[in-house]
Amino acid sequence: MNNIIRISLILVVLSVGIIIKNSDATAVSAQATCLGSNHGGFCSALGMTNWNQTITVDFDSAKQTLENYYNAHSANLAWSYMTGSGSTYYWSCVNSPIIKFVKSCGSYGACSETCGGGTKEDLCGNSTSCNTQSCAIPGECNSAVNGKEYPYGASVYGADQCTAGDPSNVSFPAPEQTVTWTCSGQHGGADSGLCSASQLKPDSVCGSSNSETNEINTKAEVESNQCAASNTVNELVTFNTNTGKWNWTCAHDYFHLLGRASTVGDYVDCSAPTCLTGNLIKYSANVYLKENLNDQTTNVSVVCNDPTTSEICCDIDSTDPSTNAIVKTHVCTGDVDKEIFVASGTNTYPAECYIKPTPDPDPGCEDSSTPPCPGETDKPLTISTMCSQKECNAQGTCQSTPLTASNLNQCSSTCNSNADCSSGRIIETRP
């Protein structure tokens, strides 16, 4: 009966024993060799049926299997145990080796330190030195931050102040201020040089009334959009009679708060033109040539809603063809039936416009007047003469087309009226 029980135990142990690796990621395989025939059943426990047989096993699983076998049969077996180091181990009975194990240690793992000297081990616990280089890292400013001028209103750096080390000062610069810091060295490395960043002052900005070309003829319209958001008027709107423009200044609220709204460089000059700076002299749309090329004239007028509520006057020079003398035509807002002589071709006629003084000089403000008239400015007037070219169109009507010309022959007409086109006749005529 005892023999049957012992055989059954051996079979149970063999059925739950070992072999090849378990699922442990750190398992170590080994070559197990049975060293003799008198092995007390230990070789058989690992699945070896002949002495001097070698098989591949999971080292830890094999050791556990042998210990389990010994514990189950310790009453009938001498003391058995595992000894060894490195890659070679023995399962011995008292002092007699029964099974030899040679571990497959694999390659070395990760180093224990990134610098300054560390160790790395293989699966068998063998170790070697690694990463013996110095750990010293000098501090370094971040070029994306160092020396940067941040716009007014910024509050964060937007990037690390140091690319290596820690900043000695993490405060952000206030407007018109500079913050400095150093970046600490690591593991004995030197600190960086001085790093810095600053914040600019705000820009003072005019409102939409500020313009070079958009004529504004009432003070109220200028005042509706004098300064941009976060900006306040510094100097109120005034009309400059010498330039014919509105003028004012704006300063950012930041400068008002600091009492610097009138400091040069902190405020901004703003202006808007009036009709005095635009094209205020109007004339007949087309000035047609006559048979006598010296007979052309055109009506002129001044159209300007003067911001000072005064009249605007202009003095226009043209040449009288009968005397060849220069004639100065004095025309003010509201005047009608004022004419100038127009020479054939494209010509420019000198003109000066100004705010009508009191009393109004006659025939007007001269270049030599002292002082000059308010808002006095040159407004040369360019006029091109025209001729009318008449031609029959596809609808059978006589169509007139104005052309810029200095001579009547530049317009060649083939009709005078619709009747010249309805009969298919083509008659060359003069305008």
Of 233, 257, 273, which one is at a domain's C-terminal end?
273
Nearest to 198 by CA among 149, 143, 146, 158: 149
Indicate the pLDDT class of residue 6, thresholds 50, 70 and 90: very low
Mind listing the pLDDT tens digit for each residue in 27-66? 889 999 999 776 778 999 999 988 889 999 999 999 999 9
The rounded percent of the chain whose pLDDT value lies above 70 is 86
Cα(407)–Cα(289) distance, rounded to whole angstroms?
7
Helix (H, G, I), strand (E, B) or coil at 261: coil
Residue 170 domain-assigned (yes or no): yes
Judge contact between 204 and 251, C-beta under 8 A: yes
Strand partners, 301: 282
Q: Which residues contact 211 (CB under 8 A, 6 or more apart)?
A: 271, 272, 273
Contacts by 370-376, CB closer than 8 A, 24 or more apart: 374/241, 374/242, 375/241, 375/242, 375/243, 375/244, 375/276, 375/312, 376/242, 376/352
State the amino acid at position 350 in one-letter form: P
Dig out the tokens for 12 from the structure: 């149970």
Residue 114 domain-assigned (yes or no): no
Strand partners, 382: 348
Q: Which residues contact 151 (CB under 8 A, 6 or more apart)?
A: 199, 200
Among 269-273, 290-294, 314-318, which is the least confidently predicted range?
A: 290-294
Residue 206 domain-assigned (yes or no): no
Of 240, 273, 306, which one is at a domain's C-terminal end?
273
How much is the mean pLDDT over the chain? 84
CATH number at 365 reads: 2.60.40
Amino acid 10: pLDDT? 36
Q: Which residues contact 95 (CB under 8 A, 6 or more apart)?
A: none
Same domain as 77, residue 11: yes
- Torsion-angle region of residue 84: left (phi > 0), alpha (psi -120 to 50) or beta? left
Amino acid 366: pLDDT? 53
Residue 121 domain-assigned (yes or no): no
Same domain as 232, residue 193: no
Of 145, 165, 200, which one is at a domain's C-terminal end?
200
Q: How many other C-beta atoms are found inside a 10 Å radius of the C-beta of residue 264?
A: 6
Mind listing the pLDDT tens digit for each residue in 343-357? 999 999 999 888 776
Cα(154)–Cα(145) distance, rounded to whole angstroms?
13
Dig out the tokens for 178 from the structure: 């500079």
Which residue range(s) make up the domain with 405?
Answer: 386-422
Same domain as 289, residue 359: yes
Same domain as 402, residue 311: no
* DSSP per position, 186-207: BTTPPPP--EEEEEPPPPP-B-
Residue 118 domain-assigned (yes or no): no
Indicate the pLDDT class of residue 383, thresholds 50, 70 and 90: very high
More confident residue, 203 or 378: 203
Judge contact between 377 and 352, C-beta under 8 A: yes
Indicate the pLDDT class of residue 329, thresholds 50, 70 and 90: very high
| Cβ burial 171-201 (10 Å sphere, 16+ → b, else e) | eebebeeebebbbbbeeebeebeebebbbeb
Residue 212 domain-assigned (yes or no): no
Same domain as 363, residue 411: no
Same domain as 263, residue 223: yes
Same domain as 98, residue 143: no
Residue 61 domain-assigned (yes or no): yes
Same domain as 304, residue 232: no
Cα(177)–Cα(182) distance, rounded to whole angstroms?
17
Strand partners, 136: none
Same domain as 320, residue 289: yes
Considering the entire predicted model, what is its pTM? 0.53
Among 91-105, 193-207, 371-385, 403-417, which is the least confidently predicted range?
A: 371-385
Same domain as 390, residue 380: no
Cα(350)–Cα(240) distance, rounded to whole angstroms?
23
Average pLDDT of the residues in 305-332: 85
Amino acid 371: pLDDT? 57
Judge contact between 270 and 250, C-beta under 8 A: yes
Q: What is the number of domains present in the chain? A: 5
Residue 255 domain-assigned (yes or no): yes
Same domain as 226, residue 142: no
Same domain as 335, residue 345: yes
Cα(109)–Cα(370) distance, rounded to whole angstroms?
99
